[in-house]
Structure 1
Amino acid sequence: MAAGDRAALSTMYTSYHGRLCRFLSRLTRRPDIIEEAINDCFWIAWQKAGDFRGDSQVSTWIMGIAYRCGLKCLRQHDGEAIDDTAVVEDHAPSADDNDDRELRDWLDKGMERLSPDQRLVIELVYGVGHKLEEVAEIMQCPVGTIKARLFHARVKLRNVLPGLAGGAPYTETMQ
Structure 2
Amino acid sequence: MKSKRGPEDVEDLKLLQRVAVKDKVAFEKLYLRFYPQLSRYLNRLMRRPEMVEEVVNDTLFVVWEKADQFQGRSKVSTWVTGIAYLKGIKALDKLRTVPDQHADELDDNIEETNDPISKLGLDEWLTSGLDLISVDQRSVVELTYFFGYSYQEIAETMGCPVNTVKTRMFHARRRLAKLLPQLQEQGESSPGLLNSEGGSSKEKPSSSLKSNSDSSSDIGL
Deviation at 1:123, TM superposition (A): 1.0
Q: Contact 2:45 / 2:142 at 8 angstroms: preserved in 1? A: no
1:21-55 CA-partner distances (Å, limit 9, x unpaired) = 22222432222322221111000001111111211
1:61 partnered with 2:79: yes
User: What amino acid is aligned across from residue 136 of structure 2 in structure 1?
Assistant: D
Q: 1:117 aligns with which of 126, 136, 140?
A: 136
Instruction: Count the aligned residue pairs.
Output: 145
For residues 81-160 of structure 1, the aligned pairs below 5 Å read 105-160=124-179
Deviation at 1:71, TM superposition (A): 2.0
Distance 1:153 1:125 in 2: 12
1:78 is aligned to 95
Alpha-carbon spacing, 1:45–1:80, altered in 2? closer, same or farther (3 Å):
farther
Q: Contact 1:36 / 1:73 at 8 angstroms: preserved in 2? A: no
Give the TM-score normalised by structure 2.
0.59
Distance 1:35 1:163 in 2: 33
Deviation at 1:3, TM superposition (A): 2.3
SS for the counterpart of 2:95 is coil
Distance 2:185 2:161 in 1: 37
Alpha-carbon spacing, 1:33–1:79, altered in 2? closer, same or farther (3 Å):
farther
Structure 1 or 2: larger helix share?
1
1:100 is aligned to none
User: What amino acid is aligned across from residue 7 of structure 1 in structure 2?
Assistant: V
Q: Contact 1:27 / 1:116 at 8 angstroms: preserved in 2? A: yes
Q: What residue ranges of structure 1 are gaps of 5+ in the alignment? A: 82-102, 168-175
Distance 1:117 1:24 in 2: 13
2:25 is aligned to 7
Quote the RMSD (CA, aligned, Å).
2.3
Residues 147-156 or 18-27, more deviating: 18-27
Alpha-carbon spacing, 1:28–1:2, altered in 2? closer, same or farther (3 Å):
same
User: What amino acid is aligned across from residue 72 of structure 1 in structure 2?
Assistant: K
1:28 is aligned to 46
Q: Contact 2:85 / 2:158 at 8 angstroms: preserved in 1? A: yes
1:38 partnered with 2:56: yes
Distance 1:135 1:8 in 2: 26
Give the TM-score normalised by structure 1.
0.73
Q: What residue ranges of structure 2 are gaps of 5+ in the alignment? A: 1-18, 99-121, 187-221
1:64-104 CA-partner distances (Å, limit 9, x unpaired) = 111111122223x33279xxxxxxxxxxxxxxxxxxxxx86
